[in-house]
Each structure stands twice: as structure tokens, then as C-alpha cells.
Amino acid sequence: MPGRWSAVVVCILGAVGVGWSADVPVLPAVPHDLPPLGLVVAAESSPFPPGIPVSRPLQPVQFVEPPPPVPVEKVLGSLPTESEMALVEEVRPLGRCWEALEYLVWWPKGQPLPPLVTTGRGLTPPVVGGPNTVLLVGGMPIDTPDVSGARFTFGYAVNTAETAGLAFTYLFLGTRTSSASVARSGSSRGQFVARPIINATTGQPDVIPVAVPGAFGGLVEANTTTRVTGWEITGVANLFAGPQLRLNALAGYRYFMVNEGLRIGQTNLFPPVPGQVLPVLTSSADQFDAHNRFHGGQLGLTADLTRGPVFVEVTGKVALGESIMVVRVSGQSVAVPLGLPLQPPQFFDGGVLGQPSNSGRTVRSEFAVLSEAVVKVGYRFRDRSRFYVGYNFLYLSEAVRPGDQVDTTVDPSQVPLLGRASADDAMAARPSPVLNRSDFWAQGLIFGLEYRY
């Protein structure tokens, strides 16, 4: 009986379980002495088929140590240094943009000067070639100091590969002035100072007195000025870009200008004229200006050799075009009587070497060559900035220089400061206008800083 009632209870519970969930089987009662994890339905006391295990013991997780990482050097080979990585980034393109600022210390070619001031003892005129004549000013350029300037460059790439670009450069040198002066009193023990000329009436060497011993004293001064400026628009094309060598071709348009001047001034204190008690102060000035303007097309090549952070850059350019040469000559004199009653100053056209006969403007154009060579040595930083020092040489084949435009053949009767001429005198034939061609060069040092980004 107990076994039958147990079966009935199991059936009732089974029916209830079926009502809860038709999909979940109800396990029959099992003896209490079975292992908890090995629960099995007894076949003898249940009409259901034998049961199955409801769970399995957990399996321990085995830890597997990962293999050691493979060194990057075995995959990529030897890694480049930081300087090599920066070099790889730099040599491939020109750079999206680049800027350069250079400080220049240059020495332009000295101006040629004719004999301007001579001296000698006694009352013998110190003509050029005389036995006691000493040349004080002229015959060679006046000592020329260095002149400072600057050069600015801005460029940018015109293609996405950054292998072609356009650059603009502006150059200038500050105005350089050189001077030489001679002053002597009119004492009897003084020196005879004069300005040498060729007498137009005799064809022989002669002088215009500046200071005569025992008669009058005077001062003569010569000044030269030079100013250089220019600009260029250049297309840049990268021809080769390697780890240590880069070649760029240059082509564009160039403008260059050099302006020079020569001024010769003379001041004298002459004895009183008849009817006056005080002396007469006279002053004269001769001005010779030479302007050169070059326009032309330009070709060039730049080679950049790099080893680590140190680099050497060599650039050569040649421009072919036209040189427009302009010469201006003028002269003026003034006489101021110092006696009483006061009299107004008298002005005269013409000085000594600049007379109405050669005053004015003369223009000439010639085919010219403008060449330039630049060598730079410097240090390159990681952020693509570079500092360098270098040497620059620039040469213009056709130019006019002020000292070459002086005609030393003069008619002394036309010199106003000697009181030999008046404003109504007829114009003499000499000195005459001239336009003598020469060349011009400038050279010097460069201190620069460049940045590419």
C-alpha cells in the first residue's frame, strides 16, 4: 500500500507540473541516499523511463601563457634614427610653403674716379704728371666700407605632390656713402691744392685752384653713393630627391637696379673785390648720377647635399635681358659777398666739371647678362628650420658708373667760382656729355634662417 500511494502522489504532482509548463518534464521522486550530482529516477518506483544527469561538474580552466612578442626590428628591419626620419620627410617634397630671411654684409665694386684733387709745394700749379705733384683724391676708388642689407624669400607648392612651386624674392642693400676731403688755408707756408683738368683751349694739363699759398684757402670734398635693390619671381621644380641629395631647377623673371652718384663740392674764401672790404664766399658742386635697371629671364639650378643635420647648398643663376643705363649731370655755383651793404647771393649754372655743355640726361640700352652664385653651409633642425652662413657673388655685365662719365677737359673761362663767367656767357663746347659703359659686381656674406612647413 505505501508503494501504491506514493505512485498516486507522484501522478498528482506530475499533473500539476504539466499544468505549469507543458515543456518542462517533472522528475520522479528519488531515494534520498543518491549523490546530489548523480540524481537518477528509480525505474522500480516510477512508471517513467530512467532519468538522466541534470548537471556536470565544472571543468578547471587551464591558463595558457601567450607567446613572447616579436621585435619590431625583425619585421621592419633596423629602425631609422630621428634625423633620418626628418630627412625622409624633407627631401620628398619642396614643402607646402617656405620662407627665408637673410642678413647681408656685402662689398659693392668701388667707383672708378678720375684725378680729382692734387697738391704741391710752392706756387707751381700741381698738374697731373708734374714733378712735384701728389694726387690726393681720385685715380682709384675711394675706400669703400661694407654695406648691410637683407633678402626675403617666400615660396609655396603649386601641386599636391609638392614637387613644383613658385617663389618670390626681394633684395636690397642700404645706401653706402664714401667721402674724401682736402682743406687748406691761404697762408704763405701752405700747400697749393687744385683740381686737375685738361685746358680745352690749349689741350695741356691745367688746374682749377682750391687753395693758393699767400692768396686764398679752400675746401674740396668728393662723395660717392651706391644703392642696390632687386626682385625676382622664380618657378621651382624638383628634379631629384634622395636621402642625401636634392636638385631643383629654377626658371623665372628678374629685375635688378643699382644707383650710384658722385658729388664734388668746392668752397673758397676769396679776397675782397674792388669796392668791398670783406671777402667773397663761393661754393660750387658737380653732380654725376648713374642709374642701371636690368630686366630679363632667368634660369638656374640648386643642389642641396645633406649629411645628418649638416647641409651644403650651391645655387647658380644666369639671367639674360636688357640693361637700361641713364646718366644725369648737373652743376651749380653760388657767390655770396660778405661786405656791407648786404648784397643778394648770385647763382650760376655750372660748377667745374658739370657745366651747361654736358648737363642733362642721357639714356642707352644694351643686352646684358646678370649672373649670381651662392654657397651656403648650415645646420638643419628637426622641425624643418635651417640656419646657415654663406657667400654670394652677383655680376652685371653692362652698367654705367658715375666716375666714368666725367669729362676732365674744361674751358677755365667758363668756371663761375673763379669769377670768370656770368650767366649770360656763351656756352663752351667742353666738357661734353659722355656715356662710358662698364660693369658692376657685389659680393659678401650671408646669415640666413629658413623654415619649411
Q: pLDDT tens digits, the chain, 453 residues: what are they?
A: 455 545 544 444 444 444 444 444 544 554 555 455 444 444 445 554 555 555 555 556 565 566 676 665 554 555 555 555 554 444 456 889 999 999 999 999 999 999 999 999 888 899 998 888 999 999 888 777 789 999 999 999 999 999 999 999 999 999 988 999 999 988 877 789 999 999 998 999 999 999 999 888 899 999 999 999 999 999 999 999 988 899 999 999 999 999 999 999 999 988 876 666 678 889 999 999 999 999 999 999 999 999 989 999 999 999 999 999 999 999 999 988 876 667 788 899 999 999 999 999 999 999 999 999 999 999 998 768 999 999 999 999 999 999 999 999 998 888 887 655 444 444 567 899 999 999 999 999 999 999 988
Q: Which of the 8 DSSP states describes residue 21?
A: -
Residue 444 belongs to a domain: yes
Q: Tell me 7's DSSP state.
A: H
User: In this structure, are residues 118 and 194 in contact, taking their beta carbons and an 8 Å threshold?
Assistant: yes
Locate cell 656770368: which residue?
Answer: 422
pLDDT score for 209: 93
Nearest to 96 by CA among 163, 169, 151, 152: 163
- Distances from the Cα of 173 to the Cαs of 148, 170, 324, 388, in angstroms? 6, 11, 20, 20
Residue 388 counted as domain residue: yes
Cell matching residue 183: 682743406
Instruction: Return the bridge partners of 312, or none.
Output: 305, 377
| Three-class DSSP category at 210 | strand
**Within a domain: 22:** no
What is the pLDDT at residue 40? 45
- DSSP, res 272: P
Asked whether residue 398 is domain-assigned, the answer is yes
Q: How far apart are CA 397 and CA 439, in angstroms?
A: 5
pLDDT (0 to 100) of residue 44: 47
Q: Domain tally for the chain?
A: 1
Print the domain residue range for 400: 82-452
Nearest Cα residue to 171 out of 224, 108, 251, 238: 108
Tell me if 294 is assigned to some domain: yes
Cβ atoms of residues 369 and 318 within 8 Å: yes
pLDDT above 90 as % of the chain: 57
CB 321 within 8 A of CB 370: yes
Looking at the domain assignment, is residue 39 inside a domain?
no
Q: What was the pLDDT predicted at 159?
A: 93
Grid cell for residue 307 = 649629411
Alpha-carbon span 105 to 391, nearest angstrom: 10
What DSSP line would sit under 334-401, residue for residue?
A: EEEE-SSS----EEEE--SS--TTT-EEEEEEEEEEEEEEEEEEEEE-TTSEEEEEEEEEEEEEEEE-
Q: Please report whether residue 113 resides in a domain.
A: yes
Residue 41's pLDDT is what?
A: 45
In a domain, 64, yes or no: no
The DSSP bridge pattern shows strands 310-337 and 437-452 to be unpaired
The C-alpha atoms of residue 260 and residue 243 are separated, in whole angstroms, by: 46
pLDDT at 453: 84
